[in-house]
């Protein structure tokens, strides 16, 4: 079966030759291959001479109208296609991680745009964000069952913002026996996470940052803001923090922190259900030796940058006011449009407004289960900086 052809403008094709996986709609030679004339969700990309470049998923309604899924001229995403990609991803994780808790598939980083899969031992939680992968979901399931066994449990938690762009409905679907929560171990600490929580239920991308902090918290007071279910705070408590305070706006997340504290035999964790902005602005004079500021993405689109930057500024400013002399401040951002340089600039600005100095002592990045392609700097979304704060 032949696929529709999508011709790339001459001046735009080199980026694809250099390893980038995205095609923007304004890079298509629409006079030769009109976007609206293409049916289906897979295309063969071609250069200005009509020579094949790659196979890509396709959506005429999206700014990123094509995402390369193979450099081969394939016509269907079948079970063998997914098996090869997932086995390659699994081999990388098995080389690095001793326990089966990690991001198994990281979209473009594993050459599978449109799919993210987190592994929690025998449970797999997946999120699909393109029409092509959604259409091939039965083949994806077959490949996962072939690799992990017919009895493996799969949850499709298809509620990401990418599905709106691709005009896909939101839904949750169990394959195999249904379950209400997932269990995992990270940095030697046990957790339970609800399947109806954020994203896939857990954020593996901060694993290395948490591990770094765990070595620094013995005997220290810790404030974990935007704590979700306690990824930072519970681990800090388990690794010797004197007290840990977790703040989150979701009562369900706060309740889960209590469950995770009990799971690890901890009695030094307190929780506050409150909006993080409101809590940090209160007149409460409590200060801490360590503060973790790990908000959700506050800049969803480039046009929202100024408003989002102000939100980051306010959060960092009020958090920094609560740091004890010589304390550790962790400031993170998962907003693609918030660059590392801009976040560092914000922290420096709020520090000088308070006559404080910040020493950058560490920068944490996602581990090997979030591989990044050098050809795609856009995928380097996570920023996580550790500072020592002084008044000198």
SS3 string, 292-358, reads EECCCCCCCCHHHHHHHHHHHHHHHHHHHCCEEEEEEEEEEECCCCCCHHHHHHHHHHHHHHCCCEE
Distance CA 180, CA 184 (A): 14
Give 293's contacts (C-beta < 8 A, 6+ positions apart): 225, 226, 315, 316, 319, 329, 330, 331, 332
Residue 355 has pLDDT above 80, yes or no: yes
Distance CA 351, CA 291 (A): 14
Total domain count, the chain: 3
Phi-psi domain of 345 (left: phi exceeds 0; alpha: psi -120 through 50; beta: other): alpha
φ and ψ at 44, to 5 degrees?
A: -100, 120
Enter the pTM of the model.
Answer: 0.94
Give yes or no: residues 148 and 229 share one domain. no
Give yes or no: residues 214 and 358 share one domain. yes
What is the mean predicted confidence (pLDDT) over 87-110?
A: 96
pLDDT the model gives residue 1: 60
The better pLDDT of the pair 233, 378 is held by 233
Residue 96 belongs to domain with CATH number: 3.30.750.80
Residue where one domain finishes, among candidates 25, 53, 70 = 70
Distance CA 23, CA 337 (A): 19
Query: What tokens were used for 7?
Result: 């011709």
Give yes or no: residues 273 and 384 share one domain. yes
Distance CA 28, CA 375 (A): 20
Residue 54 belongs to domain with CATH number: 2.30.130.10
Give yes or no: residues 222 and 270 share one domain. yes
Give yes or no: residues 56 and 102 share one domain. no
Residue 271 has pLDDT above 80, yes or no: yes
Give yes or no: residues 144 and 265 share one domain. no
pLDDT the model gives residue 265: 97
Give yes or no: residues 172 and 189 share one domain. no
Give yes or no: residues 154 and 226 share one domain. no
Q: How far is CA 364 from CA 47, 212, 323, 332, 384, in A?
A: 39, 8, 20, 9, 5
Give 271's contacts (C-beta < 8 A, 6+ positions apart): 227, 245, 246, 247, 248, 254, 257, 258
Give yes or no: residues 204 and 310 share one domain. yes
Candidate from 79-93, 207-221, 274-288 with smallest mean pLDDT: 274-288
Query: What tokens were used for 218?
Result: 């013995």
Q: How far is CA 226 from CA 128, 233, 278, in A?
A: 26, 10, 12
Give 127's contacts (C-beta < 8 A, 6+ positions apart): 115, 116, 117, 156, 157, 158, 159, 160, 199, 200
pLDDT the model gives residue 320: 96
Residue 272 belongs to domain with CATH number: 3.40.50.150
Task: Please state, rounded to an integer, the average pLDDT across all residues of the chain.
Answer: 94
pLDDT the model gives residue 191: 97
Give 172's contacts (C-beta < 8 A, 6+ positions apart): 155, 156, 157, 158, 159, 195, 196
Torsion 172-202-183-92 (CA) sign: positive
pLDDT the model gives residue 202: 92
Give yes or no: residues 26 and 121 share one domain. no
Give yes or no: residues 132 and 31 share one domain. no
pLDDT the model gives residue 247: 97
Distance CA 110, CA 101 (A): 17
pLDDT category at 211 given cuts 50, 70, 90 is very high
What is the mean predicted confidence (pLDDT) over 138-154?
A: 96
- 101-106 vs 52-58, strand pairing mode: unpaired
What is the mean predicted confidence (pLDDT) over 275-300?
A: 91
Residue 54 has pLDDT above 80, yes or no: yes
pLDDT tens by residue, 160-181: 777 887 889 999 999 988 888 9
Give yes or no: residues 202 and 87 share one domain. no
What is the domain extent for residue 370? 183-390
């Amino acid at each position: 079966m032949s696929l529709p052809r999508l011709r790339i403008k001459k001046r735009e094709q080199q980026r694809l030759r250099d390893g980038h996986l995205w095609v923007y709609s304004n890079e298509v030679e629409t006079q030769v291959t009109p976007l609206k004339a293409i049916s289906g969700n897979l295309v063969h990309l071609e250069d200005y001479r009509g020579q094949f470049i790659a196979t890509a998923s396709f959506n005429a309604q999206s700014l990123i109208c094509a995402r390369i899924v193979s450099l081969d001229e394939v016509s269907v995403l079948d079970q063998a296609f997914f098996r090869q990609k997932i086995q390659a991803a699994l081999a990388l994780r098995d080389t690095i991680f001793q326990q089966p808790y990690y991001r198994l598939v990281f979209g473009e980083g594993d050459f599978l745009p449109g799919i993210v899969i987190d592994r929690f031992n025998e449970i797999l939680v997946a999120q699909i964000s393109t029409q092509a992968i959604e259409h091939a979901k039965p083949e994806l399931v077959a490949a996962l069952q072939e690799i992990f066994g017919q009895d493996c449990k799969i949850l499709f938690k298809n509620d990401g913002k990418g599905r709106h762009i691709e005009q896909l409905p939101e839904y949750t679907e169990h394959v195999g026996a249904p379950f209400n929560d997932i269990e995992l171990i990270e940095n030697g600490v046990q957790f339970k996470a609800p399947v109806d929580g954020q994203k896939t239920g857990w954020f593996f991308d901060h694993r290395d940052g948490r591990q770094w902090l765990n070595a620094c918290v013995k005997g220290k007071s810790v404030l974990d803001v935007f704590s979700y279910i306690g990824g930072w705070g519970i681990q800090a408590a388990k690794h010797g923090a004197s007290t840990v305070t977790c703040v989150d706006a979701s009562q369900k997340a706060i309740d889960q922190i209590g469950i995770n504290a009990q799971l690890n035999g901890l009695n030094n964790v307190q929780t506050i259900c409150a909006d993080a902005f409101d809590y940090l602005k209160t007149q409460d004079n409590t200060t801490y030796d360590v503060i973790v500021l790990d908000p959700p993405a506050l800049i969803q689109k480039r046009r929202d940058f100024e408003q989002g930057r102000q939100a980051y500024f306010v959060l960092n400013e009020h958090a920094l006011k609560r740091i004890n002399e010589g304390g550790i401040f962790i400031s993170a951002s998962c907003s693609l449009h918030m660059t590392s340089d801009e976040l560092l600039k914000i922290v420096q600005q709020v520090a000088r407004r308070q006559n404080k100095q910040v020493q950058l002592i560490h920068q944490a990045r996602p581990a090997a289960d979030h591989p990044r392609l050098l050809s795609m700097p856009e995928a380097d979304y996570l920023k996580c900086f550790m500072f020592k704060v002084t008044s000198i």
